[in-house]
Structure 1
């Protein structure tokens, strides 16, 4: 039956149609930006398509863990990128953004573009975090790696160029990433005129792309707008100089993720001492200390994995951990989304294969990848059989014919 269409893919016949799927990820676009800044073209897509009242990021609400979750449909502890920066004891190295390009041991998952290529569909990827990772095979038919200081206008032009290709060359799915709004939000804050201008500029460019597609191609793509996380202003009076917290513990392996400290310590006695010390300090600082195996269930971090730290010191929004007494930036993200709803991103879908006037409750971004797979009529592994039915009303019954 139609209401269960999103769950029945495993038993369907491959019949990808003429409507490409274009995914546009707007880094750092908070759900509340829509009401606050009223971007007309984004609102138009929302009003004629389907949307959620927020897209819940996986913990921590950072860019790289969440973009890989969006692309793979698994939580950070399963795909392996558990923060923008963390330590891998087996490799003896710290992860930095983009490191998975050169080493298959950082990542363990299948991206939507690889699934599409495996099943005979062409894919295209523009700037998506870790899209060059060796783990993601086969590679997309078209790949433009991230290049800093590139205008959003060039990204929109690339999407149009791919959609303009002949049918036998055109990608069935385009995954694209835009960072300008996140950058401006960090620098100037969530209520700044600079952010308002950046959102208007991006929205205008999106509108131009939609018009260009309509006027110059015979396509009507399904457009999916989403974001990895929201943004909150930093409380400059609540910054925590973290080296002072642990100065009594010589050579303690601490990775500062700004909103979390990841502490790696195998010696149980020393670990207990560190935890006791930090728990005592938590009475006077805005953070909470958690130990491996006892992390909150919604973090999805109690799986056994070398990259999961023995302790996580989690900052209470809007406080952050700093390594210098001076503070750069006005806003940030990474906080626990359950405790900080401002971390929620957006999910908007519009197109010929999307039902209109559908508004669903907030849902976790782990379900984006299977949603895209269903929209493309790809066969999914059995582990997605129990995905939530809340996405079922979004896709037209006609997609499954």
Structure 2
């Protein structure tokens, strides 16, 4: 598969195409840590990287969780701006909890313009296969083609559908397609990043990516740029380092709480006073032998967490291998997770190759908010709203006309 992939790219790499002729396929491999290519021997992904450009790492936004980061990749915005500030959180203004995927039923949770909307609003058809919140009717619109999330859907079906979309007649085929694979993340959570089960999952997805790349270059009659990303990495966690949430001195009549495993978020109820908040903060600070710390105003600001109803009044944070848990001791297990502050274990991958990519460019670690303007430029789309990402960061990757 590697020989076919590289040869196919070399065949088209010397041809220049107008941006309005090119397509972008964005694939997320959930939980694929930056070093899994070598660690778990992903030969096909490595071949694509060698024929294109690979960043030293993809830095997730805070928190390094699945939904906030997938939305940041396709919007160029920090979570405080696009609205999905964690996989699960509380909104003090709405007095409601958000859980993963709630935007499907109520798109007002999202305050943003994802890449598929940007494309559709400018006459470019879009297709998504399981990207988080891609089913939501954001700004009154969905992609032209999308699937309702269904975990058991075979991974190879996703590859087949992407190819089928790109083989549609020109008038109806999409030029921006997103796809998503979850198996690497699932195995990482269950067994930890070093486990042979994770290696098996990586090699399974690697085979599918190799097949996809080969077929993009042999079956599709339009120039396609492939972008491989992951939302975050993975760190090892230990059962004996887990912190019981029941041990925290929190008065539930005064506070709403959300356990995000690597963070514990505390929200004041409507009648809770600043004095109540400060008293609780003091109690938490004074807990003996605690394995967590309180985020400061300064640290949250540095992480682009801005004021608003979805910002907790108190955030308790951990460092691996410690996490928060609601489970009894007999149901706690070693494994893996993400959601910690940015570090190399939390870094994901960014690899891109195709006819519009300058394969001679080099790329250091960068934040995933910069991918959105890069995709827009590849597709010849104009940005329509303010974003946090900077088009200059990935501009060297785009082959000049």
Distance in 1 of aligned mates of 2:181 and 2:257: 31
1:271 aligns with 2:277: yes
Q: For this pair of structures, how many residues does the alignment match?
A: 379
User: Contact 2:70 / 2:131 at 8 angstroms: preserved in 1?
Assistant: yes
User: Contact 1:128 / 1:145 at 8 angstroms: preserved in 2?
Assistant: no
Distance in 1 of aligned mates of 2:236 and 2:23: 37
The 5 A counterparts of 1:70-149 are 70-149=73-152
Q: Deviations over 1:280-330 (max 9, x none)?
A: 12x512211125x444333111x2210111111011122100001321561
Q: Moved runs in structure 1, 4+ residues, more than 6 A?
A: none
Could you state the TM-score of these two structures normalised by the residue count of structure 1? 0.90
Which of 310, 331, 340 is equivalent to 1:335?
340
Deviation at 1:184, TM superposition (A): 1.1
User: Contact 2:370 / 2:393 at 8 angstroms: preserved in 1?
Assistant: no
Deviation at 1:384, TM superposition (A): 5.3
Deviation at 1:33, TM superposition (A): 0.8
Deviation at 1:357, TM superposition (A): 3.2
What residue is the counterpart of 1:190 in the other structure?
193
Distance in 2 of aligned mates of 1:95 and 1:248: 22
Deviation at 1:219, TM superposition (A): 3.3
Between 380-389 and 130-139, the greater mean CA deviation after superposition? 380-389
What residue is the counterpart of 1:356 in the other structure?
359
Instruction: Report the 3-state secondary structure (helix = DSSP H, G, I; strand = E; otherwise coil) of the residue aligned with 2:21.
Output: coil
User: Contact 1:114 / 1:137 at 8 angstroms: preserved in 2?
Assistant: no
Q: Deviations over 1:205-258 (max 9, x none)?
A: 111222223333323410000000000111222110012112566553110000
Taking a change above 3 Å as real, the CA distance of residues 192 and 155 of structure 1, as seen in their structure-2 partners, is same
User: Contact 1:46 / 1:348 at 8 angstroms: preserved in 2?
Assistant: yes
Taking a change above 3 Å as real, the CA distance of residues 329 and 218 of structure 1, as seen in their structure-2 partners, is farther
What is the Cα-based RMSD across aligned positions, in Å? 1.8
Instruction: Report the 3-state secondary structure (helix = DSSP H, G, I; strand = E; otherwise coil) of the residue aligned with 2:150.
Output: coil
Instruction: Report the 3-state secondary structure (helix = DSSP H, G, I; strand = E; otherwise coil) of the residue aligned with 2:362.
Output: strand
Distance in 2 of aligned mates of 1:151 and 1:211: 19
Deviation at 1:90, TM superposition (A): 2.0
Distance in 1 of aligned mates of 2:252 and 2:178: 45
Taking a change above 3 Å as real, the CA distance of residues 203 and 150 of structure 1, as seen in their structure-2 partners, is same
Instruction: Report the 3-state secondary structure (helix = DSSP H, G, I; strand = E; otherwise coil) of the residue aligned with 1:331.
Output: strand
Distance in 1 of aligned mates of 2:301 and 2:96: 27
Distance in 2 of aligned mates of 1:304 and 1:190: 34
Which of 265, 287, 290 is equivalent to 1:285?
290
The 5 A counterparts of 1:33-48 are 33-48=36-51
The 5 A counterparts of 1:2-401 are 16-247=19-250, 250=253, 252-265=255-268, 266-281=272-287, 284-290=289-295, 293-301=297-305, 303-325=306-328, 326-328=331-333, 330-337=335-342, 340-381=343-384, 383=386, 387=390, 389-398=392-401
Instruction: Report the 3-state secondary structure (helix = DSSP H, G, I; strand = E; otherwise coil) of the residue aligned with 1:222.
Output: strand
Q: Deviations over 1:308-358 (max 9, x none)?
A: 111110111221000013215611101011xx3210001001000001132
Could you state the TM-score of these two structures normalised by the residue count of structure 2? 0.90
Gaps of 5+ in 1: 1-14
Between 37-46 and 107-116, the greater mean CA deviation after superposition? 37-46
Distance in 2 of aligned mates of 1:201 and 1:385: 35
Instruction: Report the 3-state secondary structure (helix = DSSP H, G, I; strand = E; otherwise coil) of the residue aligned with 1:360.
Output: coil
Q: Deviations over 1:46-79 (max 9, x none)?
A: 1111121101000000000111111111100111
Instruction: Report the 3-state secondary structure (helix = DSSP H, G, I; strand = E; otherwise coil) of the residue aligned with 2:63.
Output: coil
Between 367-376 and 16-25, the greater mean CA deviation after superposition? 16-25
Distance in 2 of aligned mates of 1:55 and 1:195: 20
User: Contact 2:373 / 2:391 at 8 angstroms: preserved in 1?
Assistant: no
Gaps of 5+ in 2: 1-17
User: Contact 2:128 / 2:145 at 8 angstroms: preserved in 1?
Assistant: yes
